[in-house]
Amino acid sequence: MFLAIDIGNTNITMGVYESNKSVFISRLATDRSRTPDQYAVEFRQIFHLYDVHRTDFSASAISSVVPELSPTICEAVEKVTGCTPMILGPGIKTGMNILIDNPAQLGADLLAGCVGAAALYPLPALVIDLGTASKVSVIDKSGAFCGCAIAPGVGISLEALSSKTSQLPNISLKTPSHAIGKNSIDSMQSGTVFGFASMIDGLCEKLEEELGEKVASTVATGGLAKDLIKSCKRDIIYNGELILQGLRVLYEKNHK
């Protein structure tokens, strides 16, 4: 079995694959204060929950946007699987031409997601990742990463809205029945859901225009994407495992 882990600022997402088929996907909160043993215990409990055993694993790969946590997770994975993970970073073969000012600055999650999209969907493509930050990446018809647009994430925006105002409450995120809100909660949900959906549509249109050709695929991933893209006008494919699938593709490229 193959273990893929994406370390994000808010969540750590892990997926287990057997013969390229998903066995399970699980998420846990990112906590920079935990030790390798604490994470190892959590991983082992999750494996037990899905009836997966330590000896089932043959390989692992990690992408991370929290560099200080990468060694901790790597050690935890080694403890519970016996495998030394491949950590996505400098020196890893990607098979993707990265057309930005400094390719070394490209986030591991963005790279893995785009590699996954290029392997799974027709090109050119737009890749939307709605996590702690909202990101829309561009892949041209040759499979090159052309760049991206980054905006504050939905969660960050909601947190700022409630913490910086005296009378607006903390709310849960759901799609309201009407855009014209009749109370504070409905109005905030409308502004957040429909506002971000409109932003995504607008960014995709702008990026496609600048690319100079119509994209063949628009793919979305990230914890908030599944529900939010339903309010978009653009036809968007949802793939919650895109980054993990990209990690699997990258591991195979580097271990042929």
Q: Residues with catalytic annotation?
A: 109
C-alpha–C-alpha distance, residues 245 and 115, integer Å: 9
Task: Answer for the pair 48, 84: CB distance below 8 angstroms, yes or no.
Answer: no
CB-CB contact of 228 with 151 (8 Å) = no
Name the strand (E) or helix (H) holding 251. Answer: helix 242-254
Residues in the chain: 256
DSSP code per residue over 29-87: E--TT--HHHHHHHHHHHHHHTT--GGG--EEEEEES-GGGHHHHHHHHHHHHS-PPEE
Beta partners for residue 149, in sequence order: 136
CB 95 within 8 A of CB 229: no
* Nearest by Cα to 185 from 195, 197, 173: 173
For 218, the token pair is 């628009």
Residues 6+ apart with CB under 8 A from 255: 59, 86
Cα Rg of the chain, angstroms: 19
